[in-house]
C-alpha cells in the first residue's frame, strides 16, 4: 500500500505532538511493509529545491517552512499540492492521509479529489478547538471534514465537536501510543557525564538539590497560556507556603519568549525563583531521564488533543494531577491513576497536589496504575493495528 502523509510538523521542524505522532506512525507502518511518503515542512524557499530523503524506511519530502502557517498564502499551498500530484504520478498513492485539519487537510482534500484516492483526516486538538471559532476558517474546516472518507480523532470530545461542524460519515477515536524506543535508556546521572561542562554543572546542581530531602513537582512540554502555566505557578506559590521542602522542575520551553520574561519576573518578585529548576528545551530521547527525577507530575492544560507528555509521565510511573479537559480525561481515571481537577482553578490544583505531597502511598498507588495502563492500553501494537484497519477500510470505500 502506498500512503502519502501530509503534516505541518515533523522533526526537526517542530517539536510538538503532531510531529512526534507523524514520525512514530510513519516509521511503524513502514516496518509493516507500507510505502510511506511524508510531505512535511522544510527549509526550501522554492518547491523545486525539495530533495526527498529516506529515514527509517520512510521517504521524507521536507518542503517549505510555511506548511504550518500558510492559511492565507494560497500560492504556497498550491505549490505543495501540485508537488504531491506530480509525486502521485510515479508513486500511485492508495491513500492521502492529512494529519491536522488546516492546512494539511485542505491540501489533502484538494489533491485526493483531483487524483481520485481516498482521504483520511486526523484531528489533533487545536485544529478544531481554535478554528471552529474562526469566521474565516470554519467553512474550510467544514468542507475538509466532509471530503474525508474517514476522520480520526485523538479523543472523544474532539470528535463530538467535529461532528457538530460537518457531516462526517465514518469516524473513530485512535489514542496516541507510547513508543519506549524513542527514549534513551539513561539516567540523569549518566546523562550528565556525556554533557558539555555548562550542562553537566546544571544537572549536577539539580541532583545535589534533590538530595536535600526535596520533593519534586514537575511538568514537561511546552509552557504558556494554553498549557495552564499561570494556574500551575499560582498553585505552586500556595504550596510552598505549606510545604518548605517542595521544588518545581519545568522540563520544556515557553511558546512565547515575551510571556517567559514576564513569568520569570513574577517568580522572582514572589521569591519563588530559588524553588524552581527550569531546563529549557530538552531533546526528546532524554525527557524520561528528567521525568524519573519527579515525584508528582502536573498537567494543567486548558485543552488538549492527545497529550504525549502525559503519556510519557505515566510510562515513567508518576502519579498525575491533570485538568479535567478533553484529551486528559480520556487518559486519566480520576482517583485511580491520578487526580482530575477543574481547569483555571489554582486552588483545587494546589489542594490535589497537596494530597499527594502528604501521602507517599497514594503517590505509589497512582504511579503503579498509570504505568500499567500505558503498557496495556497505549501500546504501539494496539495503535498500529487500529491504523492498518482504518487504511484497509478506507481503500474499500
Band of residue 109 on the pLDDT scale cut at 50, 70, 90:
very high
The stretch 306-315 carries a mean pLDDT of 92
**d(C-alpha 266, C-alpha 259), whole Å:** 11
The stretch 58-83 carries a mean pLDDT of 84
Band of residue 35 on the pLDDT scale cut at 50, 70, 90:
very high
Minimum mean pLDDT range among 129-138, 339-348, 368-377? 129-138
Long-range contacts of 345-351 (CB under 8 A, 24+ apart): 345/231, 346/231, 346/232, 346/234, 346/235, 346/238, 347/235, 347/238, 349/231, 349/232, 349/235, 349/298, 349/300, 349/321, 349/323, 350/234, 350/235, 350/236, 350/238, 350/239
Band of residue 127 on the pLDDT scale cut at 50, 70, 90:
confident
Which has the closest alpha carbon to 327: 187, 160, 210? 160
What is the separation, in whole angstroms, between the first and last Cα of the chain? 15
Q: Is the pLDDT of residue 157 over 70?
A: yes
* Cβ–Cβ < 8 Å for 99, 7: yes
The stretch 66-83 carries a mean pLDDT of 79
Band of residue 123 on the pLDDT scale cut at 50, 70, 90:
very high
Q: Which residue has the cell 483555571?
A: 344
Interval 199-251: pLDDT, tens: 889 999 999 988 888 999 999 998 999 999 999 999 999 999 999 999 999 99
Band of residue 69 on the pLDDT scale cut at 50, 70, 90:
low
pLDDT for 71: 58
pLDDT for 11: 86
The C-alpha angle 325, 330, 332, rounded to 5 degrees, equals 85
What percent of the chain stands above pLDDT 90?
Answer: 76
pLDDT for 192: 85
**d(C-alpha 54, C-alpha 41), whole Å:** 15
Extract the C-alpha cell encoding 377. 492500553
* Cβ–Cβ < 8 Å for 334, 202: no
Q: Which domains does the chain have, with CATH numbers?
A: 2-177+379-396 (3.40.50.2000), 180-377 (3.40.50.2000)
* Cβ–Cβ < 8 Å for 122, 98: yes
> What pTM, to 2 d.p., does this model score?
0.85
* Cβ–Cβ < 8 Å for 39, 53: no
Rounded to the nearest 5 percent, the helix, strand and coil shares of the chain are 50, 20, 30
**d(C-alpha 248, C-alpha 206), whole Å:** 11
Band of residue 294 on the pLDDT scale cut at 50, 70, 90:
very high
pLDDT for 397: 63
Amino acid at each position: 500500500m502506498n500512503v502519502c502523509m501530509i503534516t505541518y510538523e515533523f522533526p526537526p521542524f517542530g517539536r510538538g505532538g503532531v510531529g512526534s505522532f507523524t514520525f512514530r506512525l510513519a516509521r511503524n507502518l513502514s516496518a509493516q511493509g507500507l510505502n510511506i511518503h511524508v510531505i512535511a515542512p522544510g527549509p526550501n524557499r522554492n518547491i523545486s529545491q525539495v530533495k526527498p530523503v529516506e529515514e527509517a524506511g520512510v521517504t521524507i519530502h521536507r518542503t517549505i517552512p510555511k506548511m504550518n502557517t500558510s492559511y492565507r498564502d494560497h500560492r504556497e499551498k498550491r505549490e505543495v499540492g501540485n508537488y504531491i500530484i506530480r509525486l502521485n504520478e510515479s508513486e500511485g498513492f492508495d491513500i492521502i492521509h492529512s494529519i491536522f485539519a488546516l492546512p494539511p487537510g485542505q491540501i489533502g482534500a484538494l489533491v485526493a479529489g483531483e487524483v481520485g484516492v481516498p482521504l483520511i483526516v486526523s484531528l489533533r486538538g487545536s485544529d478544531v478547538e481554535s478554528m471552529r471559532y474562526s469566521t474565516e476558517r470554519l467553512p474550510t474546516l467544514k468542507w475538509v471534514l466532509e471530503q474525508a472518507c474517514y476522520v480520526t480523532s485523538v479523543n472523544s470530545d474532539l470528535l463530538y465537536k467535529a461532528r457538530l461542524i460537518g457531516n462526517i460519515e465514518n469516524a473513530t477515536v485512535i489514542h496516541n501510543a507510547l513508543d519506549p524506543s524513542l527514549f534513551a535508556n539513561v539516567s540523569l546521572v549518566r546523562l550528565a557525564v556525556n554533557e558539555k561542562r555548562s550542562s553537566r554543572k546544571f544537572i549536577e546542581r539539580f541532583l545535589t538539590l534533590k538530595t536535600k530531602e526535596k520533593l519534586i513537582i514537575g511538568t514537561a512540554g511546552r509552557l504558556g497560556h494554553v498549557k495552564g502555566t499561570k494556574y500551575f505557578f499560582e498553585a505552586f506559590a500556595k504550596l510552598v507556603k505549606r510545604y518548605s521542602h517542595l521544588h518545581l522542575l519545568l522540563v520544556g520551553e515557553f511558546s512565547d519568549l515575551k510571556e517567559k520574561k514576564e513569568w520569570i519576573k513574577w517568580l522572582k518578585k514572589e521569591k519563588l525563583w530559588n524553588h524552581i529548576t527550569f531546563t529549557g528545551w530538552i531533546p526528546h530521547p532524554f525527557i524520561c531521564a528528567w521525568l524519573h527525577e519527579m515525584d508528582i507530575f502536573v498537567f494543567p492544560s486548558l485543552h488538549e488533543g492527545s497529550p504525549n507528555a502525559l503519556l510519557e509521565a505515566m510510562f515513567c510511573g508518576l502519579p498525575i494531577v491533570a485538568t479535567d479537559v478533553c484529551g486528559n480525561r480520556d487518559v486519566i481515571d480520576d482517583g485511580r491513576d491520578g487526580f482530575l481537577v477543574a481547569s483555571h482553578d489554582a486552588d483545587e490544583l494546589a489542594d490535589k497536589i497537596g494530597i499527594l505531597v502528604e501521602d507517599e502511598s497514594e503517590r505509589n498507588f497512582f504511579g503503579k496504575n498509570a504505568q500499567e495502563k500505558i503498557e496495556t492500553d497505549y501500546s504501539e501494537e494496539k495503535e498500529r493495528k487500529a491504523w492498518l484497519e482504518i487504511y484497509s477500510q478506507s481503500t474499500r470505500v
